Structure 1
Amino acid sequence: MPFPARIDPETLGADALAIVEELGWDAWSLREIAKGLGVSPNALYRHVSDRDSLLVSVGVAAVHELRAALNKSRAKGRDRILDLARRYVRFAIRRPHAFAAFVHAKPEPDDPRAQAWFLLWTEVLEEIRALLPESSAAAAFAFWSLIHGRAELARGPARSAEPTAGLDVAVDALLRGFESLGEVPSPLPDYVPR
C-alpha cells in the first residue's frame, strides 16, 4: 500500500512561500523547504527538479498574492492606476520575501507557470489600455518600470522615506506624457501579450 502524498502539487508554491517568509529570503534552501513541509528532500525532488524550479512555483504563489492585493482596488480610471501603483509598492514593502520570489523567479516563456506573470501583466495592460488605447503597451511598460523601480528603491536606498512619496506625481506625469504623445509603438517582445 503506497504512503499518502504529503506534498500537494497544487499548493506546493504557496506552502513553500509561507516557509520562505518564515525563514527569510536569503536563508531558504530545498532542504529547509522540505523540512518545513515535513518531508525528506527526496520527496520534494519528486515535484521539483531543482531550486530554480521550486523558485518558479514559489514565484507563482507570490504573483497570485500580488494580483489579489492589486485587485482589492475599487478605484476607477486614472485613480485606479494611481491606486495600483501604491498597492504594488506597499506589497513590496509589506511582503518583502513574496516580492523577492515574484522578482527572482524566472520561468521560461513556454513554461505553463509563466502564465501567472502574463496574466498579471495583461491585467495591468488592460487598465492602461482603458486610459491610453493608442499607446497602451508602451505606457504599460513604462508604468510597470516606474512602479517596480519605486518598489526597489523603497526596499533599498529610499527605505527611510514614506514608500509611496512622489509616486502619484510620477505616475500622473507618465500618463499625461503618453496622452500627449498619441500613438507609440510597443517595446515588448513578441511573446509578451500586447
Structure 2
Amino acid sequence: MKADPPTDPPAARTPPARRPRGAVREGLIAAGVELARAGGPDAVVLREATRAVGVVPNAAYRHFADRDALLAAVCAAAMRELGDRMAAEVARVPGAYGDAAAASGRLGAIGTAYLAFAREEPGLFATAFAVPQQHAYAPADEGAEADRSPLGQLRGALDELADAGVLDRGRRAGIEYPIWSAVHGLAVLTGQGPLRNAPDQDRRRIEELTLAFIADGLA
C-alpha cells in the first residue's frame, strides 16, 4: 500500500498585532462621535463603541472608567467640531482686524455657523451640551493661540467689535451670555422645539431676524 506523502506542519498562527494604547482610546472616541452623530448622547454606549473599534468590551475600561467618561470625551469632541465649523465660517469673512464691517460680519458668521451646525448635525449638537454632571466641560487647549470653543470665539468677536468702536466698551462685560442664550435658544426651538416643523423659508427668516436683532442691539 502506497504511503501518503509527508505533509508540512501547520504554520504557526501569528497573534494579532496589538493596537497602541492611544489608538484604542482615540478609536473609541471616534466611534462614540459617530454613534452620537446618528443618535445623540443616548446612543453613546461602551459596548457599541468597542464593537466598532474591534476590541473586546472590557478593553474600554482600560481607557474609560465608565460610560459617562466616554460620553464626556465624545461631548468634548462634538464641541470641538462645532468650534471648527464656526472658525471656518469666520475665516471666510474678508477684512482686517478692527474693521467695523468685517468685525460685524465675523459676529454674524459665528451665529450663522452655530445655527447651521445645530440644523445639519442635530445629534452632535445635542451631545456637545450633554456632558454628564460629574464631568467638567473641557477647557480650551492650553498653549493654543486662541480659544476655538464656541464661547471663546464669541468673546473674541465681541472684543473685536469693541476695538472697532461698534460696541461700547461699557457694555462689553458679560454680553456674550445673553447673545449665546438667544442663538442657542433659537437652535433648540427650531431643532426639537415648537418651531421644528417650520418651513425652511420661515426658519431662515427667523434666523436672520434673530441675528439682525442681536447686531442692532450692539450698535
Q: TM-score, normalised by structure 2?
A: 0.69
- Structure 2: how far apart are the matches of 1:174 and 1:3? 53
Provide Cα deviations, 1:104-124, integer angstroms capped at 9, x if missing partner: 025426xxx3336x7412221
- Structure 2: how far apart are the matches of 1:15 and 1:139? 37
Q: How does 1:1-194 map to 2 (within 5 A)?
A: 3-5=18-20, 7-10=23-26, 12-22=28-38, 24-25=39-40, 26-73=42-89, 74-75=92-93, 76-106=102-132, 107-108=135-136, 113-115=138-140, 119-120=148-149, 121-131=151-161, 132=167, 133-156=169-192, 157-161=194-198, 162=200, 163-179=203-219
Q: Which runs of 5+ in 1 are unaligned?
A: 180-194
Q: Which runs of 5+ in 2 are unaligned?
A: 1-14, 94-101, 142-146, 162-166
Higher mean C-alpha deviation, range 24-33 or range 64-73: 24-33
3-state SS in 2 of match to 1:64:
helix
Higher-Rg member (1/2): 2
Structure 1 residue 11, shift from structure 2 partner: 5.2
Structure 1 residue 164, shift from structure 2 partner: 3.6
Structure 1 residue 178, shift from structure 2 partner: 4.1
Provide Cα deviations, 1:65-104, integer angstroms capped at 9, x if missing partner: 1112111222232122222212111101111111111010
Contact residue 139 and residue 175 of structure 1 kept, 8 A: no
Say what the alpha-carbon RMSD is for the aligned residues.
Answer: 2.5
